[in-house]
């Protein structure tokens, strides 16, 4: 069953085209990876889904409802949470407040507290630093906090933008383990990664995007077989034949 | 005894300035808006007092709260929200425009001459204790400042709306992406600043008993000076900056030769320029200055 369906999406920043006729789908319970080089338009796609960037054309459907003209907070309410590339934890709020603010749209106090305890059990470092301003956390801890904050809205779809960026390999391992764990507990994941090997090792399906256009889509094996990843990353696009899903 | 008298006068004037600075600093902290129309909220509150002569004071205060809050919310909804994403200088010019518009609407309605009203005459009576004259309104000013500063700081620090305000202040886009209703948070900030404006208005009119459509401007200016001295952005800094300007003003009143007293404000602002030349980041540097709210 398709949870998120995007078709014919076009995003422009002024006259600059960031995404052109992009179509993809994320099924319920899947981990779908969006890979591609820097500047390919991966973040623009997530921002369009989150309602921060208004697309010029195309449809974004979530669980059967059109999302395109909705406000960002309504999109959170619909069940989509995002961990942005820059993490964007609120540095002046405490760790605890960062988690609480993730539950801004909920009012079930007891359940919110239970969720905080669950996240603190998952990331014990956050429990230790509960009262500290989030700005004092290390990069890896901020990543944990950003994931925890996103989980606090109990999303059905979690979008992660470059979760491994700037993290030590051992911390990256922990982050990817967490992502797998979240999927196992029923959350659908849309993962944006530049580190394509890493992403392909964890996802069910992947889309390769380059210069704002979809280049290939399929299972990790299919993507590998098409041989388009290296081409997209190293600028050999003229030789690559795009295989649309 | 003259020292004690000076301290009471200074704390009283300083309290009024501190409350003004808090109202301005709160809006600046949350949405980065330098709201020059803030003085007009105070002025409009004063005219509510003028129009509700004959009602008991709690009813008058209630009228003020309702009217000034409504005006603050309307200005946010109709004027500031449409330009929310404009750059700070545009926002400031817009608030200038709003300020002038309100002033001249009030000139049309009430004329530009001074109107007087006798509000809370009992509070204004001074009692003399050992050679020191204390008016009730002085005590009110000092205690209102302390109570409201502590209340506001606790509100920002401990409540859900408080941490949402701090989050909007730091990163409005991310705040929306975690589901914070940014319009509601900004509206709450305007309501809070309106309550502060009503307090200033009531205290100011109790003390002076007179108003023109223009009296808000000088208070706004002093409020700004206090905010800037306090290191624009920290609420505690705003309050301390207000007290400081109050102390400086009162001290100058006391020390200047009578011939120069009419030009007191020139000396106050000269001191402000000097402070900013020496410490561009504001006089008071607290760790909380790192926080915009």
Query: Per the CB < 8 Å rule, is A100 touching B160?
Result: yes
* Inter-CA distances, A223 with A42, A198, A218, Å: 17, 14, 6
- Alpha carbon of A173: minimum distance to chain B alpha carbons (Å): 26
The residue of chain B nearest to residue A105, with distances taken between CA atoms, is B179
pLDDT of residue B49: 96
What chain A holds in terms of domains, given with CATH numbers, is 2-233 (3.40.50.300)
pLDDT at residue B290 greater than cutoff 70: no
Higher pLDDT, B266 or B290: B266
The residue of chain A nearest to residue B290, with distances taken between CA atoms, is A92
A71 touches chain B (CB under 8 A): yes
Beta-sheet pairing, A157-161 with B132-135? unpaired
A95 touches chain B (CB under 8 A): no
pLDDT in tens, B234-256: 788 888 889 988 988 888 888 88
B179 contacts in A (CB within 8 Å)? 73, 76-77, 102, 104-105, 153
Buried b (16+ CB within 10 A) or exposed e, B186-219: bbbbbbbbbbbbbbbbbbbbbbbbebbbbbbbeb
Percentage of chain A modeled with pLDDT above 70? 92
Query: Per the CB < 8 Å rule, is A71 touching B177?
Result: no
Among B166, B167, B181, whose Cβ lies nearest the Cβ of A73?
B181
B177 touches chain A (CB under 8 A): yes
pLDDT band (50, 70, 90) for residue B273? confident
pLDDT band (50, 70, 90) for residue A242? very low
Task: Check: CB of residue B131 under 8 Å from CB of residue B1.
Answer: yes
Highest mean pLDDT among A34-48, A214-228, B262-276: A34-48
Among the residue ranges A67-76, A231-240, B244-253, the one predicted with the least confidence is A231-240
Give the integer Cα–Cα distance in Å for A115 and A120.
9
pLDDT of residue A74: 94
pLDDT band (50, 70, 90) for residue B6? confident
pLDDT of residue A240: 42
Enter the pTM of the model: 0.88
pLDDT of residue A9: 95
B131 touches chain A (CB under 8 A): no
pLDDT of residue A198: 87
pLDDT of residue B232: 62
B171 touches chain A (CB under 8 A): yes
Average pLDDT over residues A16-28: 94
The residue of chain B nearest to residue A82, with distances taken between CA atoms, is B177
B287 touches chain A (CB under 8 A): no
Query: Per the CB < 8 Å rule, is A50 touching B179?
Result: no
pLDDT in tens, A102-141: 999 999 999 999 999 999 998 999 999 999 999 999 999 9
Percentage of chain B modeled with pLDDT above 70? 95
B181 contacts in A (CB within 8 Å)? 73, 104
pLDDT at residue A199 greater than cutoff 60: yes
Average pLDDT over residues A43-53: 94
* E-only strand ranges, chain B: 115-116, 126-129, 132-135, 210-211
pLDDT at residue B40 greater than cutoff 90: yes
Query: Per the CB < 8 Å rule, is B176 touching A88?
Result: no
Among A82, A93, A152, whose Cβ lies nearest the Cβ of B177?
A82
pLDDT at residue A235 greater than cutoff 70: no
B45-104 residues touching A, CB cutoff 8 A = none
Beta-sheet pairing, B210-211 with B115-116? antiparallel
pLDDT, averaged across chain B = 89
Among A71, A91, A153, whose Cβ lies nearest the Cβ of B178?
A153
pLDDT of residue B288: 42
B175 touches chain A (CB under 8 A): yes
Query: Per the CB < 8 Å rule, is B170 touching A93?
Result: yes
Average pLDDT over residues A171-178: 89
B290 contacts in A (CB within 8 Å)? 92
Give the integer Cα–Cα distance in Å for B72 and B84.
15
Which strands form A2-13's sheet, in the order they lie side by side? A16-27, A2-13, A57-62, A65-66
Interface test with A, best of B175, B176, B177, B180 (most A CBs within 10 A): B177
pLDDT in tens, B162-203: 999 999 999 999 999 999 999 999 999 999 999 999 999 999
Query: Per the CB < 8 Å rule, is A81 touching B178?
Result: yes
pLDDT of residue B292: 43
Q: What is the DSSP string of chain A?
A: -EEEEEEEEEEEETTEEEEEEEEEEEETT-EEEEE--TTSSHHHHHHHHHTSS--SEEEEEETTEE-TT--HHHHHHHTEEEE-TT----TTSBHHHHHHHHTTT---HHHHHHHHHHHHHH-HHHHHTTTSBGGGS-HHHHHHHHHHHHHTT--SEEEEE-TTTT--HHHHHHHHHHHHHHHHTT-EEEEEES-HHHHHHH-SEEEEEETTEEEEEE-HHHHHHHTHHHHHHHT-GGGPPPB--
A150 contacts in B (CB within 8 Å)? 178
pLDDT at residue A244 greater than cutoff 50: no
Say whether B121 sits in a helix, a strand or coil.
helix
Among the residue ranges A17-26, A224-233, B38-47, B266-275, the one predicted with the least confidence is A224-233
pLDDT band (50, 70, 90) for residue A187? very high
Percentage of chain B modeled with pLDDT above 90? 58
Rg (CA), chain A: 18
Kindly tell me the burial class for residue B19, based on how many C-beta atoms sit within 10 Å of its own C-beta (0-12, 13-18, 19 or more). Answer: buried
Contacts for B259 with CB less than 8 Å, ≥ 6 apart: none
Give the integer Cα–Cα distance in Å for A43 and A147.
17
pLDDT at residue A243 greater than cutoff 70: no
Give residue for tokens 């006798």.
Answer: B118
pLDDT of residue A238: 45
């Amino acid at each position: 069953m398709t949870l998120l369906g995007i078709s014919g999406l076009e995003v422009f920043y002024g006259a600059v085209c960031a995404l052109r006729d992009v179509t993809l789908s994320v099924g319920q319970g899947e981990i779908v990876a969006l890979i591609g080089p820097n500047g390919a338009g991966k973040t623009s796609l997530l921002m369009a889904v989150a309602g921060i960037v208004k697309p010029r054309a195309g449809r974004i459907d979530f669980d059967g409802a059109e999302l395109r003209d909705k406000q960002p907070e309504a999109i959170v309410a619909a069940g989509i949470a995002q961990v942005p590339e820059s993490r964007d934890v609120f540095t002046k709020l405490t760790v605890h407040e960062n988690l609480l603010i993730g539950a801004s749209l909920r009012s079930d106090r007891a359940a919110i507290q239970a969720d905080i305890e669950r996240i603190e059990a998952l990331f014990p470092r956050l429990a230790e630093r509960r009262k500290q301003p989030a700005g004092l956390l290390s990069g890896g801890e901020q990543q944990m906090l950003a994931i925890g904050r996103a989980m606090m809205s109990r999303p059905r779809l979690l979008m992660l933008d470059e979760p491994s960026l700037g993290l030590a390999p051992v911390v990256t391992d922990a982050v990817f383990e967490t992502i797998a764990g979240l999927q196992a507990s029923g959350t659908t994941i849309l993962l944006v990664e530049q580190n394509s090997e890493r992403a392909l090792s964890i996802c069910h399906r992947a889309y390769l995007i380059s210069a704002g256009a979809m280049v290939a889509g399929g299972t990790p094996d299919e993507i590998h077989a098409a041989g388009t990843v290296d081409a997209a990353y190293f600028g050999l696009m003229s030789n690559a034949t795009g295989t649309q899903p | 005894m003259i020292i004690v008298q000076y301290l009471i006068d200074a704390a009283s004037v300083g309290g009024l300035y501190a409350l003004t600075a808090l109202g301005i600093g709160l809006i600046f902290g949350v949405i980065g808006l330098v709201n020059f129309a803030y003085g007009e909220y105070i002025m409009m509150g004063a005219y509510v007092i003028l129009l509700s002569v004959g009602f008991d004071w709690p009813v008058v205060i209630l009228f003020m709260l309702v009217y000034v809050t409504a005006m603050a919310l309307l200005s946010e909804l109709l004027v500031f929200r449409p330009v929310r994403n404009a750059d700070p200088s545009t926002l400031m010019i817009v608030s200038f425009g709003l300020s002038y518009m309100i002033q001249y609407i009030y000139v049309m309605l009430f004329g530009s001459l001074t109107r007087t009203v006798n509000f809370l005459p009992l509070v204004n009576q001074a009692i003399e204790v050992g050679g020191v004259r204390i008016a009730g309104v002085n005590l009110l000013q000092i205690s209102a400042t302390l109570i409201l500063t502590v209340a506001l700081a606790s509100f920002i620090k401990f409540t859900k709306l408080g941490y949402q305000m701090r989050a909007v202040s730091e990163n409005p886009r991310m705040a929306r992406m975690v589901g914070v209703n940014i319009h509601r948070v900004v509206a709450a900030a305007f309501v809070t600043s309106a309550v502060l404006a009503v307090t200033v208005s009531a205290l100011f009119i109790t003390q002076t008993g007179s108003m023109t459509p223009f009296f808000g401007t000088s208070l706004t200016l002093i409020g700004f000076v206090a905010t800037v001295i306090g290191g624009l952005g920290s609420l505690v800094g705003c309050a301390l900056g207000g007290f400081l300007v109050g102390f400086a003003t009162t001290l100058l009143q006391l020390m200047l030769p009578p011939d120069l007293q009419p030009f007191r404000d020139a000396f106050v602002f000269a001191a402000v320029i000097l402070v900013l030349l020496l410490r561009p980041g504001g006089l008071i540097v607290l760790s909380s200055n790192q926080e915009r709210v």
